[in-house]
Structure 1
Amino acid sequence: MNLHALRLFHIIASTGSVTRASEQLHISQPAITAQIKRFEKELRFPLLKPEGRGIALTDAGEELARLAKRLFAVEQQLEQFADDYRNGATGVIRLAATYLPAHFLLPAWLARFKRQYEQVEMTITTTNSGDALAKLMNVEVDIAIFGGAAEDYPEAIHKEELFQDELWFVVAPHHRYAGQRVTLAEMMKEPFVMREEGSTTRERLLSLCRTYGAALPTISLQFNGLHEAIQAVIAGYGANFVSSLVVRDFVERGELARVYVDGIQLMNAIGICTRKHEPLPPSAANFIQLVKGEA
Structure 2
Amino acid sequence: MNLHALRLFHVIASTGSVTRASEQLHISQPAITAQIKKFEKELGFPLLKPEGRGVALTDAGEELALLAKRLFAVEQQIEQFTHDYRSGTTGAIRLAATYLPAHFLLPAWLARFKRQYEQVDMTITTTNAGDALAKLVNVEVDIAIFGGIAEEYSEAIHKEELFQDELWFVVAPLHRYTGRQVTLDEMMQEPFVMREEGSSTRERLMSLCRTYSAALPKISLQFNGLHEAIQAVIAGYGANFVSSLVVRDYVERGELARVYVEGIHLTNSIGICTRKGEPLSPSAANFIQMMKGMP
TM-score range, shorter chain: over 0.9
Q: Which residue of 2 aligns with 1:93?
A: 93
CA distance in 1, matches of 2:278, 2:32: 47
Deviation at 1:280, TM superposition (A): 0.9
Give the alignment of 1:1-295 within 5 angstroms: 1-151=1-151, 153-295=153-295
Give the secondary structure class of the aligned counterpart of 2:236.
coil
Query: Is the Cα contact below 8 Å between 2:132 and 2:144 reproduced in 1?
Result: yes
**Over residues 69-92 of structure 1, what are the superposed CA-to-partner deviations in whole Å (9 max), with x where a residue is unaligned?**
111111111111111111111111
Give the partner amino acid of 1:171: V
CA distance in 1, matches of 2:184, 2:165: 20
Give the secondary structure class of the aligned counterpart of 2:168.
strand
Deviation at 1:209, TM superposition (A): 1.1
Query: Is the Cα contact below 8 Å between 2:99 and 2:226 reproduced in 1?
Result: yes
Deviation at 1:2, TM superposition (A): 1.1
Give the partner amino acid of 2:160: E
Deviation at 1:151, TM superposition (A): 4.8
**Over residues 25-52 of structure 1, what are the superposed CA-to-partner deviations in whole Å (9 max), with x where a residue is unaligned?**
1111100000000011111111111111
CA distance in 1, matches of 2:243, 2:38: 74
Deviation at 1:153, TM superposition (A): 3.7
Deviation at 1:19, TM superposition (A): 1.0
Give the partner amino acid of 1:49: K
Deviation at 1:210, TM superposition (A): 1.3
Deviation at 1:152, TM superposition (A): 5.5
Deviation at 1:20, TM superposition (A): 1.0
Deviation at 1:54, TM superposition (A): 1.2
**Over residues 81-125 of structure 1, what are the superposed CA-to-partner deviations in whole Å (9 max), with x where a residue is unaligned?**
111111111111111111111111111111111111111111111
Give the partner amino acid of 2:116: Q
CA distance in 2, matches of 1:126, 1:97: 5
Give the partner amino acid of 1:281: S
CA distance in 1, matches of 2:102, 2:263: 30
CA distance in 2, matches of 1:283, 1:18: 43
Query: Is the Cα contact below 8 Å between 2:13 and 2:57 reproduced in 1?
Result: yes
Give the secondary structure class of the aligned counterpart of 1:236.
coil
Give the partner amino acid of 1:287: F
Identity of aligned residues (%): 87
CA distance in 2, matches of 1:255, 1:24: 73
Give the secondary structure class of the aligned counterpart of 1:11.
helix
Give the secondary structure class of the aligned counterpart of 1:215.
coil
Deviation at 1:156, TM superposition (A): 2.1
CA distance in 2, matches of 1:54, 1:233: 87
CA distance in 2, matches of 1:259, 1:268: 17
Deviation at 1:142, TM superposition (A): 0.7
CA distance in 2, matches of 1:133, 1:182: 35
Q: Tell me the matched-pair count.
A: 295
